[in-house]
Amino acid sequence: METFKIAFFCWESLHSSFKVGGLAPAATHLAEHLARRGHEVHFFTRGEPGDADINGVHYHYCRPYGDNIVEYCRTMSNMLVDAFRACDTPAFDILHFHDWHLVEAMHILRDRNTILSYHSTEYGRHGGNFGGWWEFKEISGKEWYGGYIAKAVTTVSNSTKTEVMWLYNVPEWKVTVIPNGIDPDAYYARVDPGEVKKRYGIHPLAPVVLFVGRLTYQKGPDLLLQAVPRILATRWDVQFLFAGTGDMRGYLEGMAHGLPVQFLGYISDREHVQLLNACDLVAIPSRNEPFGLVLTEAWSAERCVVATDVGGLSENIDNYMNGIKVPVRPDSIAWGICHLIDDPAYMQSLGKAGRRKVMEKFRWAVVTERTLGVYRKVLSGGP
Amino acid sequence: MRGEGANPPVVCLGFDIHYPCYLNPGFRPDMVKGKRNPKDSYFNPEMKEGLGRVIDRSFRPATEILIDLLDGGFKCAFSISGVMVEHLERWYPETLELISRAATHQNAEVLAETYYHSVAGQFTDLEEFVDELLMHRDLMKEHFSAVPTTFAHTDYPITPATAEALAGAGIEAAIIEGGGPPAPERDPNHTYTYRGLPVLVTHCDLADDIAVRFPWREWDRWPLMADRYAKWLAVSPGDCITLFLDYRIFGDVVGPETGILEFLHALPAALAGEGITTVHPSEAARIIPPRGDIGETGEPGGPQRTILQQSALEALEEAGGLVADRAIWRCLLETDHIRRMAMRSASCGKPHHAVSHQATYDYFTSFMQILSHAEERSAASTRSPKAALSLRCVPPDKAFSFSSYDRPAGYAAHSLQELTNMLEFTPDDVIRYHVEREDFYHWIDQVIGDTKLAEKIRGVDDRSKLRSTIQNRIDRLWKRLR
């Protein structure tokens, strides 16, 4: 099998000191899985200057500066293009860009075999709203331009595909949907749910609903919180845990006064896995979700989900087979949770069906193979 | 779906013949005043009449049909509880005679179960479980001259402890409920072993087609006819379909006007038409090679109990040493009581009664009121009435509800033992809140009535000190009773 020399451009990775969002694990794991198959992968990103080889991937770091996010990304692009040129002999086969931050580097290298992956859009990150401020317009412009010059485009779901086709006029032939991958075993652990619940002061037999994610408008924690009293009206012993933090936290804590809700703030990976495997149900009340990694994480732990019928969640959940999809409304979320919470056996069977789907469609082996398919298509020169 | 030419599975059909001892939902302690036997106030006083109605609607016609079918070569199994036999013997001997004709038929198998159709298998101490198993065996020998070897373990999940107890008591196979661990998630239609004990897994969906959906006109398969049902069974993948149904389904829970009795009558011919043979559970367990052991899957034990069920089961086990009248305690062991404290959508062949959370809570309240009252009444005749009173459980309105400054913690203790158990995990701010308000002191002093312990823990705010003080006191109180 032929091997490729691949350059990744992504402004964050798991192996640098910069604050990590959802993009970092997606790009890092993909790079590592490509390297594991014998491809030569160079990862151009931010970090303490210097190079490093980690898990088979060659990292090239830079330290950008700038007065605002757009300026900052411009210096980062220039620095990374320099780093790229330094190791461009023999020439790279594939240049894979992740999100808009390095579109200026892509502009400089636009004659090469470039691929742009949209992990989300600026519109989507604002909960499906247009912003009138200049950064919004600048970033949207870069997202448009990236899609225009790239030889191929990938999105994490069909809804993001439709979104970029609608927002940026990217032609359909250019776009391939490749979901985010996951390592299911990293999220599955055999724990005694009762013991884990006790650690949070919760009765070992109380049903626990878990929310994982940033406490921001996009993720809809406020919708779940508004659903809580409605759920308690029919089932008094349900407890709610919110893991993660964000700009809505203060507001949510005020709203949760007197309710069986705990805000755990940032939690470690280990705690995350324990909670996933101990909770009874995972709620995903997002207003916009390009993919929804929380979904495949919950499924990996054989948990069932109640999720809003948006974006990647809408596409990937088979209603009543491996989860329940509800409209983006507190009363609908409450209905979904009440529908499941009384029936532990049913919840277990939905969770197990979810895990089967992960093994089938979202494992890294599957996702890496599909990414390579896009690379081959670009290299063969045709759509 | 199976391919052309494959053999259809065999079918094991079991009937659970039992009439539960219902609680008297309107029970109030003042109803017992001046009565020598409180049993009539605790439990449905019209049990005889209720059972009579069930016999007329269901037991008699269904048994008559089954005897006919058994004569025709159809095979099935009966699980008849000990209390059921007692009641029939006392009130309806002719019905016992009839059931006995069916049970002793050469094509019928008698199953083992607990004498009181009880939850004793869920206790930490399985003494009562084994006692009831042996009592039931003796009764079956006496009435039906049969020694049952297959145990109907369908009301709560099998555990390593119950499997061991069953094997130790000479049980050779068990029927367990599908639809949740430890039963395999899919493929119930095989035989398995659970830690060496052969088990058959009931098919919940197919059972509920009869038990729940049969009379339901909105069902897209209504009306269900025997030949169509037989077709479903014939195309089910696997070797062996096990159905275990509450006998009252046939004519009582699902009324005769729905055609359920005609369905039962037509079933064997329809099964034969599809080439399906009926076998006894013990036979299936013996001849069909097990597909694997399901005892080591490590699944945390079965469909989860609710908090209310847990409180009730704990109180019930403790009550074994506190309620003087064994008969009353054993009526409270009835599985139906615990089942009514939770909602469940799949019923696996039992009458469906998921109503509302209010109803489950009300049932729990009645149950705890009766249990608490029975313990209080028994206290006087114990060696140390004061100790017995301190160890008793209390109904929900007197329970200790944990709370913090701004919200309830979501659980309540109904006895000293439950209080120490909950002190293990209740958050620090909850303990602080109650210590500041002296709630522990007041509850132990005024509700439980243990002044000595109350004084001891007054002002103690250290979790482990609180727990060890209360636990030591509990241990000492038990010693006084023995």
Domain boundaries, chain B: 10-287, 383-482
- Low-confidence spans in chain B with pLDDT less than 70: 1-6, 297-303, 345-346, 354
CB contact under 8 A, B303 and A344: yes
What is d(CA A94, CA B460) in angstroms, rounded to the nearest whole number? 69
Q: Looking at the complex, does the CB of residue A193 fall below 8 Å from at least one CB of chain B?
A: yes
Report chain B residues touching chain A, CB-CB < 8 A: 179-181, 185, 298, 300, 303-307, 309-310, 342-346, 354, 356-357, 361, 406-411, 422, 424-427, 430
User: pLDDT tens digit string along A78-131?
Assistant: 999 999 999 999 999 999 999 999 999 999 999 999 999 999 899 988 878 898
Closest to B32 (Cα-Cα) out of B308, B324, B376: B376
Length of chain A: 383
**Cα angle for residues B283, B286, B287 (degrees, 5° grid):** 85
Domain B10-287 has CATH 3.40.50.970: no
- The most distant pair of C-alpha atoms in chain B lies apart, rounded to whole Å, by 78
Closest B-chain CA to A197: B425
User: pLDDT tens digit string along A219-240?
Assistant: 999 999 999 999 999 888 999 9
Q: Output helix, strand, coil percentages for chain B, rounded to the nearest 5.
A: 50, 10, 35
Q: Could you give the angle at which helices B127-144 and B82-91 cross, rounded to 10 degrees?
A: 50
Within 8 A of A280 by CB-CB distance, chain B residues are 304
Q: Looking at the complex, does the CB of residue A1 fall below 8 Å from at least one CB of chain B?
A: no
State the smallest CA–CA distance between residue B303 and chain A in angstroms. Answer: 6
pLDDT at B351: 79
CA A29 to chain centre: 12
pLDDT at A383: 52
Which residue shows structure tokens 């017995």? B388
Q: Looking at the complex, does the CB of residue A204 fall below 8 Å from at least one CB of chain B?
A: yes
Token couple for B239? 């070797």
Token couple for B48? 């005889």
pLDDT at B1: 43
Length of chain B: 482
CA distances to A24, A120, A311, A357 from A284, in Å: 21, 17, 12, 18
Q: What are phi and psi of A245, to 5 degrees?
A: -140, 175
Closest residue to A237, CB basis, from B307, B343, B406: B307
What is d(CA B68, CA B61) in angstroms, rounded to the nearest whole number? 11
Closest residue to B307, CB basis, from A205, A260, A346: A205
Closest to A265 (Cα-Cα) out of A294, A245, A241, A239: A245
pLDDT at A15: 87
pLDDT at A125: 83
State the smallest CA–CA distance between residue A275 and chain B in angstroms. Answer: 15
Q: Looking at the complex, does the CB of residue A203 fall below 8 Å from at least one CB of chain B?
A: yes
CA distances to A192, A259, B337, B467 from B418, in Å: 20, 24, 20, 11
Q: What are phi and psi of A39, to 5 degrees?
A: -80, 150
A151 touches A141 (CB < 8 A): no
pLDDT at B4: 46
Selected residue of B186, B187, B306 to mutate for chain A interface (largest A Cβ count, 10 A): B306
Q: Which residues of A3-36 are buried (b: 16+ CB within 10 A; e: fewer)?
A: ebebbbbbbbbbbbeeeeebbbbbbbbbbbbbbe
Peptide bond into B182 cis (omega under 30): yes
Q: Looking at the complex, does the CB of residue A270 fall below 8 Å from at least one CB of chain B?
A: no
Q: Looking at the complex, does the CB of residue A354 fall below 8 Å from at least one CB of chain B?
A: no
User: What are residue B153's DSSP bridge partners?
Assistant: B176
Reported ipTM exceeds the 0.90 cut: no
Token couple for B252? 């009582």
Q: DSSP string of A280-319? A: SEEEE--S--SS-HHHHHHHHTT-EEEEES-HHHHHH--B
Closest residue to A206, CB basis, from B307, B343, B357: B307
pLDDT in tens for each of the 383 residues of chain A? Answer: 689 999 999 999 988 877 666 788 899 999 999 999 999 999 999 988 889 999 999 999 999 999 999 999 999 999 999 999 999 999 999 999 999 999 999 999 999 999 999 998 999 888 788 989 999 999 999 999 999 999 999 999 999 999 999 999 999 999 999 999 999 999 999 999 999 999 999 999 999 999 999 999 989 999 999 999 999 998 889 999 999 999 999 999 999 999 999 999 999 989 999 999 999 999 999 998 889 899 999 999 999 999 999 999 999 999 999 999 999 999 999 999 999 998 888 898 899 999 999 999 999 999 999 999 999 999 997 55
CB contact under 8 A, A237 and B306: yes
Q: What is the pTM of this model?
A: 0.89
CA distances to B307, B344, B424 from B304, in Å: 9, 11, 20
What is d(CA A310, CA A307) in angstroms, rounded to the nearest whole number? 8
CB contact under 8 A, B422 and A257: no
Peptide bond into B223 cis (omega under 30): yes
pLDDT at B109: 96
Q: Looking at the complex, does the CB of residue A254 fall below 8 Å from at least one CB of chain B?
A: no
Q: Looking at the complex, does the CB of residue A352 fall below 8 Å from at least one CB of chain B?
A: yes
State the smallest CA–CA distance between residue A189 and chain B in angstroms. Answer: 11
Closest A-chain CA to B341: A342
B247 touches B261 (CB < 8 A): no
